[in-house]
Amino acid sequence: MSLELVCPAGNLPALKIAVDNGADCVYMGFKDNTNARAFPGLNFDQASAREGIRYAHAKGKKVLLALNTFPQADKWQRWQAAVDNAAELGVDAVILADPGLMQYASRTYPKLRLHLSVQGSATNYEAINFYHEHFGIQRAVIPRVLSLAQVEQVVKNTPVEIELFGFGGLCVMVEGRCSLSSYATGESPNTCGVCSPAKAVRWEQTAQGLESRLNGVLLDRYGANEKTGYPTLCKGRFEVNDETYYAIEEPTSLNTLEMLPQMMEMGIAAIKIEGRQRSPAYVEQVTKVWRAAIDAAKRAPQAYNVNPAWMAQLGKLSEGQQQTLGAYHRPWK
């Protein structure tokens, strides 16, 4: 099986740049809360989706469509229509999280390929096989919580292809099982496709420093020489027993370049790059580095070494300029 590079496309320019720089697949969403990056100014309308699919297919690349939020009872129709639209547009797969929606998609469009989104929270093979048996999912994206040994155990016990996150923003919580954002703001990834939404963020210069607040809750306070970051709820500094620190997670990016040969060896089907909310320039640089790394690892897995230039390049693009192997590396936990 050949390892695929799956790159983020927040808009048409990013999609084209990803395709031009070595993505095997791009993933995108519609312009509403049917996907987990429902940010203002992002995503695809009918015309841009059509053009994006045409562009990618003309170059032999695939387009995946994320419909990975959970339809709420009275708004079901919007998600169902999005599945219809995806099938009509001719995407190569839809990435779903909700079992009800998977059932609809598999019954209505038996030929439409289904991927289980990371938002589906499947962290073990019994869960993945559940989705396979009932809806015929062909690939699952694993939450960023398993160690590499645990991932291997999953791969050995399921016929479903496994996709792992390789680079980008790091969710410290199990995706699909985090309501921290709605606790503070009323909007969560599951229901609204957002986490710590920008409209709830306020920056304020005070006597004690620059403060970031999320719907009034103080997430962090920065000294004059400290670097600021986007105020994601779990990446703020808080007080626990009179100690102030990053109590949940530091602002950092996941980077698994050094694990690439191991991931290929265990039969991972695809590596996903996070970041549909990032700029086309970001997508270009990350895609180039990962293309080069995957090609090198495929050519000579034994001789594979992480090129310092790749790390330097990705380092510049990382949150807080910090990188981690995350849960793949046991001590992180």
Q: Which residues bind another protein (CB under 8 A)?
A: 70-74, 76, 97-101, 103-104, 120-127, 129-131, 133-134, 145-147, 150, 153, 172-174, 176-180, 182-186, 188, 190-191, 215, 217-221, 234, 236-241, 243-244, 247-249, 327, 330-333
Smallest CA-to-CA distance from 185 within 172, 199, 175 is with 199
> Pairing between strand 139-141 and 161-169?
parallel
Helices (H), 21-147: 46-58, 76-89, 99-108, 125-135
- Give me Rg for the CA atoms of the chain: 20
Q: Least distance from C-beta 162 to another protein, angstroms?
A: 14
26, 7 contact by CB (below 8 A)? yes
Q: Least distance from C-beta 309 to another protein, angstroms?
A: 31
Q: Least distance from C-beta 48 to another protein, angstroms?
A: 28
Helix (H) or strand (E) holding 192: helix 189-192
Q: Is 233 helix (H, G, I), strand (E, B) or coil?
A: helix
Q: Least distance from C-beta 9 to another protein, angstroms?
A: 26
Q: Which is nearer to another protein, 190 or 285 (CB)?
A: 190
Q: Least distance from C-beta 1 to another protein, angstroms?
A: 24
Q: Which is nearer to another protein, 97 or 273 (CB)?
A: 97
Smallest CA-to-CA distance from 1 within 111, 125, 138, 115 is with 138
Q: Which is nearer to another protein, 76 or 230 (CB)?
A: 76
Smallest CA-to-CA distance from 268 within 113, 127, 154, 118 is with 154
Q: Which is nearer to another protein, 71 or 166 (CB)?
A: 71
Q: Which is nearer to another protein, 90 or 183 (CB)?
A: 183
